[in-house]
Chains A and B, each alone.
Chain A
């Protein structure tokens, strides 16, 4: 999983290295580092580090290690979004569908309808934050069942 960690570093040598060590020992692969010198506040420099972690547990361990070293973690934002295509065959209440997708933290990136009233077919391209696809599919599957429609997902 791709994560953006924003840390508050004292503007002193060695502190960044300490944070990077915690990331590395927990399996994190550093993709990029941005020093937000434009946003220095009372001796702290916010630093954004994009890291690829093997899983959520290793991210948690790294966060604990960094904080344990006295470096505040301002934010840990999951960046990875899965983009998946879904098709629903049958009559669909599009409004409800879109509402549910949004409620579950996902975004419909594209939507198209074909087949007219006789043979309706809805195609969605959905952007979901990592870990959110399964719950979304479960909810959509229940909706499709209610509508007597068929949900076809990638797999």
Chain B
């Protein structure tokens, strides 16, 4: 049995814990969960009814940092789900580093560490013979990374472009179809819980840039840094601009591009019949391969769907470990 611990017990952590405690992945047992307050750990596994709403009110609560659970309990697999920090990558970066050093496999949805320290972490994982899987960091549940790594490695990925942020896509879609102003569409998105209370990183294009970096560095072998991405957000996009685009059979979308001119994130004009032109909270990515040509994949880029990517990465760990034995 693979002993799994989840660090970060918020939206994703709770949903994933429920799946694992219910035994949805054979061969994996959920042994520990941690939040910012502390952790609970049970070597024989946490059952569904053991999962608390709040960790600090649960039986067996340890008021100690998650790093202590990682160090003390020698689990096999860390699922890192703490908040994304774009300055330092912390606390996720330390958690992942520590786990890999202990020889654990790591699965994460946390963009910070993967975008900021991909090279360091992937070589550390390789050195230790551990897996570092991060499908859930980009495009929610859409299998972008495994699609490329499993099915298309023999072809050459020349460029890619994508809509990688559901919040901005929702806002721009409402502006296009309902002729709303930016401010009104944003407020609506916040009311619906699509946009965060502080949506700056989404609106300014930084979230898209982080995801683009992860795709560029992990799928195209680039070694780019966040400072090398040219980033423009959508806050200046007006109803007039959307109307002008519409008149020409186009609309405006926030698009990340990795191509011959480097990495960029900007609002761009896109034809309404372009396969990339998806609406609402949907994400879409278009890969351009040397032989295959264009391939576009569309799906829900955040929320509950992300749990699907996490579960598949965990399943991959199970498969790899059974091969290792």
Interface residues, chain A, CB within 8 Å of chain B? Answer: 85-87, 89-90, 112, 114-115, 119-121, 123, 125, 134, 149-150, 152-155
Cα A155 to Cα B250 with chains together (Å): 11
Question: Is B128 an interface residue, CB under 8 A from the partner?
Answer: no
Cα A153 to Cα B241 with chains together (Å): 12
What are 9 residue pairs bridging A and B, where the CB atoms are less than 8 Å apart in the complex? A85-B269, A87-B252, A89-B238, A114-B244, A150-B236, A150-B237, A152-B252, A152-B267, A153-B269
Residues of B within 8 A of A123 (CB): 244, 247-248
Residues of A within 8 A of B187 (CB): none
Whether the pair A154, B232 counts as a contact (CB closer than 8 A) is no
Main SS class of interface, A: strand
Cα A114 to Cα B55 with chains together (Å): 55
A134-B261, A153-B268 given. 10 additional CB < 8 A pairs?
A85-B248, A89-B236, A89-B237, A89-B238, A89-B241, A90-B236, A115-B240, A121-B238, A123-B244, A155-B257
Whether the pair A86, B244 counts as a contact (CB closer than 8 A) is no
Whether the pair B267, A114 counts as a contact (CB closer than 8 A) is no
Q: Which of A90, A114, A150, A155 contacts B243 (CB 8 A)?
A: A114
A128 to chain B, nearest CB (A): 15
Question: Is B175 an interface residue, CB under 8 A from the partner?
Answer: no
Cα A123 to Cα B249 with chains together (Å): 13
Whether the pair A89, B270 counts as a contact (CB closer than 8 A) is no
B144 to chain A, nearest CB (A): 19
A7 to chain B, nearest CB (A): 33
Q: Which residue of B lies closest to A122 (CB)?
A: B244
Residues of B within 8 A of A153 (CB): 268-269
B185 to chain A, nearest CB (A): 15
A62 to chain B, nearest CB (A): 25
B286 to chain A, nearest CB (A): 11
A1 to chain B, nearest CB (A): 16
Whether the pair A152, B257 counts as a contact (CB closer than 8 A) is no
A135 to chain B, nearest CB (A): 12
Cβ proximity bits B235-268 to A, threshold 8 Å, 1 near / 0 not:
0111111011101101010010100010000111
Whether the pair B241, A85 counts as a contact (CB closer than 8 A) is no
Q: Which of A87, A134, A154, A155 contacts B244 (CB 8 A)?
A: A87
Residues of B within 8 A of A86 (CB): 269
B278 to chain A, nearest CB (A): 16
Q: Which residue of A lies closest to B230 (CB)?
A: A141
A134 to chain B, nearest CB (A): 7
Cα A121 to Cα B252 with chains together (Å): 13
Cα A89 to Cα B237 with chains together (Å): 7
Whether the pair B269, A121 counts as a contact (CB closer than 8 A) is no
Question: Is B161 an interface residue, CB under 8 A from the partner?
Answer: yes
